[in-house]
Amino acid sequence: MLPRETLPGVYVCADAAELARTAARRFVDWAWQSIAKEGNFNVALSGGSTPQELYRLLATPEFRAQVDWPRVHLFWGDERAVPPDSPESNYGNARRELLLRVPIPAGNVHRMEAEDANIGRAAHDYESALRQFLPLDDRGFPRFHLILLGLGKEGHTASLFPGSKLLRETSRWVSTPLVPKIGARRMTLTLPVLEAAVRVVFLVAGADKASILREVLCDHPDPPLPAQMVKPREGERLFFVDEAAASKLSASQSQPMPKGNS
């Protein structure tokens, strides 16, 4: 059964496994489209448990062979200040589930070195990497073909948290905000970079995300939640969610997810 669209750009899958399969199919489609048009496919990966299912699936023979990995460049939307072999590292989790299992050149993998003692310098270096490999939009921000994002229970996405001054950032590409809840800094792409993407995809699963998903999609808090603020200027924003996460959304005007280009 195809996922159904309950709200514009919101596609509901039966469960987390079908969500991952839907995302994997679209990843393959978008990779071929971008490579055919521009010669490569530039992606920012997300941390969290839901994307791990996608990464595991992309590494299986079924999907691995469908992607021209030497033409894929992988970046990250945010990273914790931990070593790459830490179980909390977004890069480390993607490496274990995906990078070690697909034929992507090492030079095409661009991790955030957020564990650097001088995390500000590391953020500057990461911005330099974006400048080297990504085209710019008409406002001078790097333009990803795809950015994968998660959704926190308080409405954060990447490392953009409610109340953060970083939500007002208008020029920097990469920042290192202090997250008061954990008392540590993280490295993150900024809102203008997320908004410059061709396509932003939120992956949301689980009943514990139902309330915040409804708030992000249906309510109008003041100030808006970080996830609400991610609206690509010339691209599209999609939500792939499972039935549990979508349980508090209206099912009116449901329709199948379109095949092929989106």
Could you tell me the residue ranges of all domains in the chain?
4-249
pLDDT digits (tens, 9 = 90+) for 171-209: 999 999 998 878 889 999 999 999 999 999 999 999 999
| Residue 137 C-beta-side C-alpha neighbours within 13 Å | 18
Contacts of 48 (CB under 8 A, 6+ apart): 90, 150, 203
Alpha carbon distance 37, 71 (integer Å): 12
Yes or no: say if 244 and 12 are a contact pair by the CB < 8 Å rule: no
User: Can you give the pLDDT at residue 18?
Assistant: 96
pTM, two decimal places = 0.94
Is the pLDDT confidence value at 110 over 50? yes
**Surface-to-core class of residue 229, CB atoms within 10 Å of its CB (0-12 exposed, 13-18 middle, 19+ buried):** middle
Is the pLDDT confidence value at 262 over 70? no
Angle formed at CA 205 by CA 201 and CA 209, multiple of 5 degrees: 100
The strand pairing partners of 163, in sequence order, are none
The strand pairing partners of 203, in sequence order, are 240
CB atoms within 10 A of CB 210: 19
Report which of 221, 230, 154 is spatially closest to residue 189, judged by C-alpha positions.
230
Report which of 81, 52, 38, 41 is spatially closest to residue 177, judged by C-alpha positions.
81
Average pLDDT over residues 25-46: 98
Alpha carbon distance 69, 59 (integer Å): 11
Is the pLDDT confidence value at 79 over 50? yes
Yes or no: say if 174 and 128 are a contact pair by the CB < 8 Å rule: no
Class of CATH domain 4-249:
alpha beta
pLDDT digits (tens, 9 = 90+) for 111-120: 999 999 999 9
**Surface-to-core class of residue 28, CB atoms within 10 Å of its CB (0-12 exposed, 13-18 middle, 19+ buried):** middle
